[in-house]
């Protein structure tokens, strides 16, 4: 049995959940309040971060390493291209979303609006919220530019790059922080990925005290 220690709105955990679901791997989800630094949790991952995937006796950490491991060990459907150049493009975009986008946008909006309250760390800092709300526009424009040239973000087939992007955007959509009217190509891309069966469990996530808006789970948003 596979077990995933996760937190529902964590984009890194969402990327792993999408990969597991797309590969039709059954998983037991265990919600981890990682900021409480439970010693049991720190034994599983001394870095104190989610996701942590338990496969047999092994605990695996780092979402990108986990997703690529899953792609290598369960090859169908493939989520990484075969040639090295295209694989580089997928990894570049995964890092773009998990690093740059996360720093500039996800952490500024999701952390301020949701996590601070859950973790008891006070009120949102409006400067951060404003900065995240400005930066997301440039990222949506960049995605739109990519999608003018490709059917999916990294090329003409769906890859982990799409999962990385959709994981961040879906977590932000949970708090209505994505303007889907900014770019029609980005909206179409999200509608395509959102309608996949693998996405369904993410759309039923609920965070106590933060009910999702009606459009969050709506496939016709």
Ligand X SMILES: N[C@@H](CCC(=O)N[C@@H](CS)C(=O)NCC(=O)O)C(=O)O
Using the rule CB under 6 A, which residue among 10, 19, 159, 183 binds ligand X? Answer: 10
* For ligand X, the closer CB: 7 or 96: 7
DSSP bridge partners of 207: 210
User: Exposure of 71 by Cβ count < 10 A (0-12 exposed, 13-18 middle, 19+ buried)?
Assistant: buried
What track of x and - describes contact with ligand X for positions 28 through 47 (by CB under 6 A)? ------x-------------
Find, among 16, 74, 67, 5, the residue nearest to 38 by Cα: 5
Minimum CB–partner distance for residue 89 and ligand X (Å): 19
Work out how close the CB of 195 gets to ligand X at its nearest, in angstroms, rounded to a whole number.
25
In the complex, minimum distance from the CB of residue 172 to ligand X, in angstroms, rounded to a whole number: 13
Quick note: the x/- pattern for ligand X over 86-125, rule CB under 6 A, is ------------x---------------------------
Considering the rule CB under 6 A, would residue 63 count as an interface residue with ligand X? yes
Residue 216 sits in the site that holds ligand X (CB under 6 A): no
Selection from 110, 109, 107, 112 nearest residue 125 by Cα: 112
For ligand X, the closer CB: 51 or 155: 51
Mapped onto helix, strand or coil, the DSSP state of residue 38 is coil
Contacting range for ligand X; rule: CB under 6 A; set: 56-64, 76-84, 131-139, 151-159: 56-64
Considering the rule CB under 6 A, would residue 12 count as an interface residue with ligand X? yes
Least distance from ligand X to the Cβ atom of residue 7, Å: 6
CB atoms within 10 A of CB 28: 10
Instruction: State the DSSP H helix or E strand holding residue 6, giving kind and residue range, or none if neither.
Output: strand 2-6
Q: Are 217 and 203 in contact (CB under 8 A)?
A: yes
Alpha carbon distance, N-terminus to C-terminus of the chain? 35
Q: Is 218 left (phi over 0), alpha (psi -120 to 50) or beta?
A: beta
Nearer to ligand X, 23 or 49 (CB): 49
Answer yes or no: are the C-beta atoms of 173 and 216 closer than 8 Å: yes
The distance of closest approach from Cβ of residue 180 to ligand X in the complex, given in angstroms and rounded to an integer, is 23
| Interface with ligand X (CB under 6 A), residue from 49, 113, 139, 168 | 49
Angle of helix 84-95 relative to helix 160-173, nearest 10 degrees, comes to 20
Chain positions contacting ligand X, by CB under 6 A: 7, 10, 12, 34, 48-51, 62-64, 98
């Amino acid at each position: 049995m596979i077990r995933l220690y996760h937190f529902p709105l964590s984009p890194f955990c969402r990327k792993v959940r999408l990969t597991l679901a797309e590969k039709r791997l059954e998983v037991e989800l265990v919600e981890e309040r990682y900021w409480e630094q439970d010693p049991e949790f720190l034994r599983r991952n001394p870095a104190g971060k989610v996701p942590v995937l338990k496969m047999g006796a092994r605990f695996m950490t780092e979402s990108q390493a986990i997703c690529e491991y899953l792609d290598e060990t369960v090859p169908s459907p493939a989520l990484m291209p075969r040639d090295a150049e295209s694989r580089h493009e997928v990894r570049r975009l995964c890092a773009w979303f998990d690093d740059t986008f996360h720093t500039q946008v996800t952490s500024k909006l999701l952390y301020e609006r949701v996590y601070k309250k859950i973790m008891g760390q006070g009120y949102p800092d409006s400067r951060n919220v404003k900065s995240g709300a400005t930066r997301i526009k440039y990222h949506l424009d960049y995605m739109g530019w990519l999608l003018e040239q490709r059917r999916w973000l990294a090329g003409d087939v769906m890859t982990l790059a799409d999962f990385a992007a959709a994981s961040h955007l879906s977590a932000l959509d949970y708090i209505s922080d994505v303007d889907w009217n900014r770019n029609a190509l980005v909206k179409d891309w999200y509608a395509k990925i959102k309608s996949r069966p693998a996405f369904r469990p993410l759309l039923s996530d609920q965070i106590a005290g933060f009910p999702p808006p009606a459009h969050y789970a709506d496939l016709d948003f």
